[in-house]
Amino acid sequence: MKIRVLIVDDEPIARERLRSMLDPEPELEVIGACGDGREAVAAIRRDKPDLVFLDVQIPELDGFGVVNALSGEQLPVFVFVTAYDQYALQSFEVHAVDYLLKPFDAERFQRALGRARRAIHAEHGEGVNERLLALLRDLKPEARYLERVVVKNSGRLFFLRADEIDWVESSGNYVCLHAGKESHLLRETMSSLESRLDPACFIRIHRTAIARIDQIKELHPLFHGEYEVVLRDGTRLTLSRSYRDRLQTLLGKEL
């Protein structure tokens, strides 16, 4: 009986790399690949895979959202594929079957695959579900906020502390983290990142911008209820009407 495998990653190159690493395995059968979280939930419910390689940072519904959407159902074994922050990696080690930190090599992939095989063949598969649900409880945004983020620069991965971020800018399918004179691209949606940032320290001021509260120096009224936000380093951003109430609540006064 072959192990049925689903690949979930929004990058075609990443999906093909995983498929090329799985194809030589005679007991595995890749039954499909998905590019976003909602598609993944539908495919898991429809096709009932035994094993899912699941990227954490995917559009529509992130990896945690996929697992959460399936809670209460019979879950497959998940191997997370991620460039997530260090605390989350520690949680994976405690609760999940395994994780693959991008970029990973063939040896690391084989170790993850071996753990997944053992979990699938284990007599008490319920323990896998219990670990995944515990992972979700540990990573709820209201319980713990992002302390650091993994960013890639010139082929290297390094940690950027959340308190080093001055402001965040939307950039297509990425966000740009501005920290002092440096900026770093991260593949994540603004809404997803906003949910993981401490609201006592960061505030969404525009559809395309999040600012660190203690970096806001001045506010200048513009037209139609909007404001110009001046940061301490001189950066000028726009506070849109739709996000003005949040800043008013923070200031305790009406703008």
Look at residue 140 and tell me whether its pLDDT is greater than 70. no
Residue ranges in the chain assigned as alpha helix (H): 12-22, 37-47, 63-69, 86-95, 106-121, 126-138, 190-196, 244-251
Do domains 3-138 and 148-251 share one topology? The answer is no
Using DSSP's 3-state secondary structure scheme, residue 28 falls into strand
Look at residue 25 and tell me whether its pLDDT is greater than 90. yes
Residues 191-222 have pLDDT tens digits of 889 988 988 899 999 999 999 999 999 999 99
**Residue 124: pLDDT band by 50, 70, 90 thresholds?**
very low
Q: Pairing mode, if any, of strands 3-8 and 51-55?
A: parallel
Distance, CA of 87 to CA of 144 (rounded, Å): 10
Q: Is residue 174 within 8 Å of residue 187, measured between CB atoms?
A: yes
**Residue 49 identity:** P
Stretch 61-76: mean pLDDT: 83
Q: Is residue 50 within 8 Å of residue 3, measured between CB atoms?
A: yes
pTM score above 0.75: no
**Residue 46 identity:** R
Write out the CATH class of domain 148-251.
Answer: mainly beta
Domain 3-138: which topology? Rossmann fold (3.40.50)
Nearest one of 25, 29, 30, 24 to 7, comparing CA atoms? 30
Q: Is residue 236 within 8 Å of residue 219, measured between CB atoms?
A: no
Look at residue 167 and tell me whether its pLDDT is greater than 50. yes
Distance, CA of 192 to CA of 170 (rounded, Å): 12
Q: Is 60 left (phi over 0), alpha (psi -120 to 50) or beta?
A: left
Residues 76-112 have pLDDT tens digits of 888 988 876 554 555 565 456 788 888 888 999 999 8
Computed over every residue of the chain, the mean pLDDT equals: 84
More confident residue, 252 or 47: 47
**Residue 221 identity:** P
| Residue extents of the structural domains in the chain | 3-138, 148-251
- Residue 237 neighbours by CB distance under 10 Å: 19
What percent of the chain has pLDDT above 90? Answer: 42
Stretch 245-249: mean pLDDT: 76
**Structure-token match 């950066």, residue found:** 235
User: Given strand 216-221, what is the order of strands in its sheet?
Assistant: 216-221, 227-231, 236-239
Q: What is the pLDDT of residue 82?
A: 80
